[in-house]
Amino acid sequence: MIDSPRPDSMAAPGRRRFRVPRAAAIAALSGALLLSGLPHAASAVQVSLDTSALAGMAARLEFVLFDGDFAANNTVTIGPIGGDGSTAALECSFGCSGGPPFILDDGPGFGQFYQDLTLGQHLGFTLGFSGNFSGSGTPDRLVLSLLDAATNFTLVDTDLDFATDALPFQDGLLFVDLDGSGRIRPATSSTPELPVSIPEPGTLTLLALGLALSGGRCRRRPAPAVSDGGPAATASRC
Ligand SMILES: [Ca+2]
Ligand SMILES: [Ca+2]
* Dist. CA 130 → ligand 1 center (Å): 10
Instruction: Please report which ligand is nearest the Cα atom of 177.
Output: 1
Q: Which residues surround ligand 2, an ion (CB under 5 A)?
A: 157, 161, 171
* Dist. CA 145 → ligand 2 center (Å): 12
In this predicted structure, the answer to whether residue 24 has a pLDDT above a threshold of 50 is no
According to the model, what pLDDT value does residue 44 have? 80
Contacts 24+ apart (CB under 8 A), 93-100: 95/65
**What global pTM score does this model have?**
0.69
pLDDT tens-digit map of 183-218? 899 999 999 999 999 986 544 444 444 444 444 443
* Dist. CA 164 → ligand 2 center (Å): 13
pLDDT tens-digit map of 94-132? 999 998 999 999 999 999 999 999 999 999 999 999 999
**Residue of 74, 54, 56 whose CA lies nearest to 64:** 74
Strands 42-50 and 122-130: antiparallel
Compute the distance between CA of residue 111 and CA of residue 31 in angstroms, rounded to an integer: 29
In this predicted structure, the answer to whether residue 227 has a pLDDT above a threshold of 90 is no
Compute the distance between CA of residue 236 and CA of residue 223 in angstroms, rounded to an integer: 8
Compute the distance between CA of residue 108 and CA of residue 89 in angstroms, rounded to an integer: 23
* Dist. CA 237 → ligand 2 center (Å): 44
Mean pLDDT (the chain, rounded): 77
Compute the distance between CA of residue 188 and CA of residue 194 in angstroms, rounded to an integer: 9
Helices (H), the chain: 22-36, 201-218, 231-237
Q: What are the residues whose beta carbons fall under 8 Å from the beta carbon of 31, sequence distance 6 or more?
A: 205, 208, 209, 211, 212
According to the model, what pLDDT value does residue 20 have? 37
**Residue of 184, 183, 119, 175 whose CA lies nearest to 144:** 175
CA distances from 53 to 100, 119, 188 (A): 27, 9, 16
Instruction: Please report which ligand is nearest the Cα atom of 157.
Output: 2
CB 115 within 8 A of CB 81: yes
Residues 9, 190, 120, 115: what is their CA dihedral angle, to the nearest 10 degrees? -90
